[in-house]
Structure formats: C-alpha cells, structure tokens
Amino acid sequence: MDPSHSVSPAPTYWVAPRHLAGDDGVLAERIGDTLTDLGWRMWPTSRNSLLYVSPDGLRGAEWILAAYPFELGGLPVAWQVSARPHPDSALTEWNAYFTAGVPHEALTDFLLALDASETPDVGLENAEAVLAALGARGWLRDMDRPHTTATDPGFSTNVSLEMVPPLIHDADPRDDLLGWQAWAEPVLGAPYLWCASFSASAPHELVAAFASSVAAPGPVPRRTLPVGAEDRLTVVRRG
C-alpha cells in the first residue's frame, strides 16, 4: 500500500475515547500524507518498506509493516520513527515503534512535534512531562508507581516507564534501560489493540506529545470500529 496516494470515504461514526478508536485501517495513508505535507522525502526500500526523511536529514519515519520485522504485544510493528544527531550519522540516537491499530491522530501529533523540534535527538531531563500531560487529560497515576505510570479512567490503556523490550534500538547500548511504553487492552486478558515503544533516549517532550494526543477526550471519525473494543466505545454520532 502506498500511503502517499489515498482517498478516505466519509466517516460512518464519531467515537470516543480516542485511545480505543483504533487506526481505521488507514494508518499508512494518514501518516504518509502528514509526512508528505511536511516536506519529508519518501522512497521505497529493498525490504518492501517506505522510508521518509525530513528535509534536514535528522528525522526518519518508515512504514515497515510489509517487512514484518518484529511484534510488540503480539501485534506487528507498522511504523518506526527515529532521530539522529547529524544527517550523515550511520546510527540513530533513538527509535520509537508503533503497531498497527494505534490511533493515527496520536502518531500524527507525535510526528508534528518531532518535525518542529530544533533538537530531535535530545530532551531527557523532564520525564514528569509525560505524566503531567496525561494528568491534564484526566488520566490517573498508578498508586504503586505514581512517578512512572498512568492509566485512563476506564483502566484500559496505560503509559508507563518500563524496561525496554527486546529489539528496541537506541544509541545507549546498555540492556537495563527504561523507556516509555504504551498499550491499549480494551478487555483484560484479551489481545492488545495497539502498542507503542519508545527507546531509552527518546525525548520525554515528544513522548508527552504522543501521550497528550492519545488521551484527548474528543470524538474521532471512524468508518469501522476496532474488534474487541466496540463495547468500550461511545458512538457520539453517526456520519
């Protein structure tokens, strides 16, 4: 699928909350359109992925679902986003990974914040920014881990500073690092709806942009409702 050419039909539903609304099957198209509008260059790779690079060469985003590199929470990773300190650097400073099903609005806001950042490879001094962003949306801090974890009032979606899962690449090679992880589990014990993983060096301010967006309370348009989350969604109106 080429995310640079798409026409989405009119929405069938307006639903809330955003964090359980899924990606409506248009995660490739919506993010590709966003990056193209920002002036990022795109070209296909030999592993059937689509690589986007910002004009300054410091930021990258790759649609890797077809390559199926690995899974998070049993879901295939769809987008990998990265930043590097210099355009000619062979190694990225940090990476963020988003599975299929992640609300495209939240990933869009993350990428807009990344594009606007003057120093996309730094920003580790304010971990509290992530939890503050969620608290401003009415999310609750975990009683046992108030400085690292927050959940939505319905206890279906979590954002937490955790040990980084395997295969998450970062400039810091240590294997005992913490990075922000996010996941939606509409029904306890059922398959995840989506997962996101940020490597240890991902700037907290950018993670906060994603967290604030994924927790936004307003309804979002969807043509289809995600399997497993229908009973947790409120249909505000039909298109």
* Residues 149-163 pLDDT 10s: 999 999 999 999 999
Closest CA to 159 of 117, 209, 217: 209
Residues 106/119, Cβ–Cβ less than 8 Å? no
What is this structure's pTM? 0.92
Percent of the chain with pLDDT over 90: 78
Q: Is the dihedral of CA 146, 232, 77, 116 positive or negative?
A: negative
* Residues 91-121 pLDDT 10s: 999 999 999 999 999 999 999 999 999 877 6
Percent of the chain with pLDDT over 70: 93
Per-residue pLDDT at 196 exceeds 80: yes
Spatial separation of the C-alpha atoms in residues 39 and 43, rounded to whole Å: 13
> What is the pLDDT averaged over residues 138-143?
97
Compare 238 and 148 and report the one with higher pLDDT: 148
- The DSSP output letter for 57 is S
| Chain centroid to CA 177 | 20
Q: What is the pLDDT of residue 4?
A: 47
